[in-house]
Structure 1
Amino acid sequence: MSRTAVRGFAVASATAVTTVGAVMGVAQAGSGQAAHDAEAAAGDSTLLADLPAGQQAQVQTASLTRQAAGQAIAADATAKRTAEEAARKQAAEEAIAKQKAAEEKAAEAKAKAAEEAERAEERQKAETTATTASGTGSFPQQASYTVAEVQAIARQIVPAGQFQCFSNIVDHESTWNYQAVNPSSGAYGLVQAYPGSKMSSAGADWRTNPATQIKWGLNYMNERYGSPCDAWAYWQANGSY
């Protein structure tokens, strides 16, 4: 190999290494290393001028190829960082959206529960008001009452959902006879109040007015057991209430 060829090969190798080092220096080490490599490349350009034109083209082609490769590596690194940042941002946005959706769902469920509770309370108040309004004053006094008439009065006083339980108790206690008297204890009326005078709290006509007895009996079951159905459950378990 001639001295000129050897020299050209050395210049090409040095130039290529210097060029790659400059590119990688920009991507990894910063501007100081890039400046140093640029100065080395400038020094090598003087040697390059001493080479024949054909070898100069080869050296320059090799240098540009490696420079492009270095730039591609730097671009890939930048793209990777950008993609990772975008992925982190998207994950954060999705987490925030999920949390917001969960909070909205919880708030909606809470509002629905509050609305249902309010409606239940309004229904309870309406039933209580209806029961109170359906006291003895709403039913004209009669000389006597049939079982069917007494039951019709009870249906107007006792809430619909509790009537059957109330009826079951009255069936067992008095068979709907508002003047029934227990010969042993003296318990009196539809619900066999003992003593019967307890029913005076619902009206002075407790002996002769089934509406007064029904009103008192309903209040008694609600206060002591919670409802006529709870009173009936107790009756079934104990044979009395």
Structure 2
Amino acid sequence: MASHRKTNAPTLLSLSKRQWIRIVAIAAAIVMVVAAGIVSRNFYIGRGRGTTVNEYSATDLAGSSVSRSNNRADLRGADANTSYVTVKINGKSRFVLGDNFTDVKSVLDAGNITLEPEDSVTPALTTKVDESTVISISRADTQAETSETAIAFNTVKKETTSLPQGQQKVQTEGQEGVLQTTSMVTRSAGKVISSTVFAKYVKKAPVDKVILVGTGSAEEAAANTLGDTVPSGEKQKWAHDWLLANGYTEADFTAANFIINHESGWQTNATNPSSGAYGLPQALPGNKMASAGADWRTNYQTQFKWFVNYCNQRYGSITGAYAYWKANSNY
């Protein structure tokens, strides 16, 4: 017969010392697991996994604060449809970004990578790709060569009430910047057969020469706090004249020149090796500039017009983009 006698349940006061120790140990373990979960979540978010990356970024690259970094939380950028594929040429790696990859050939086209007759490519050009694909290109008698060229600095004149009218004073001496170019160079019998630019970025941005010019009134000096920049070279001269002809100001050109000098040094084919950002404004991916013209790969005027439109849409103005860049070292 089953017993229906009520069993005496243990109470807290009736627990032994050993039972108390076991309960305390279990509770401590639960607290540690919960705390570790919270710390991990905060670290995960702090590393940027839950953030959106701008189309543009000019964060640290090889110790420089003037060009794009490979420390990107998400190489896709702000566009969720953008994907990326790794391309290696003789062991040198870079990412190629795009939004319509179908096969290996489409990746090389998007990355502006031209194959030479003697190149060996794996996988085959018609192979379908995804973000796990690594395209390897082997070039006979080809090696990576790096060179550095100077980026000219500009002269900026700023009006000030601290000097008598017409008097000038150098506030900052100009310094040339450094543009680093890595090319895949193929030689035969000591002669260069082909040379393909693999990466070109601003290693060190130029420093403008700033000249203070005395003015007669505070109102006049406050009209353009960014100052007037004297164009240096054909591309800057064209950009300056185009802006003024289209209703923009000297301050807009000063702002545009500052950003582009830091992003690409006014190099039409500037290419970041880690992200694939391209052109004067370092558009990411570069084919976004196709909205300004089919010749976006080679035409600096097309690239500059796209840059101006982007600044207006995202920051309200070119000077707005400049203010953001000054505060964040990217735009």
Normalized against structure 2, the TM-score is what? 0.28
Normalized against structure 1, the TM-score is what? 0.38
Choose 1 or 2 for highest CA Rg.
1
Larger RCO, structures 1/2 (Cα 8 Å, 6+ apart): 2
Structure 1 or 2: more helix by fraction: 1
Structure 1 or 2: more strand by fraction: 2
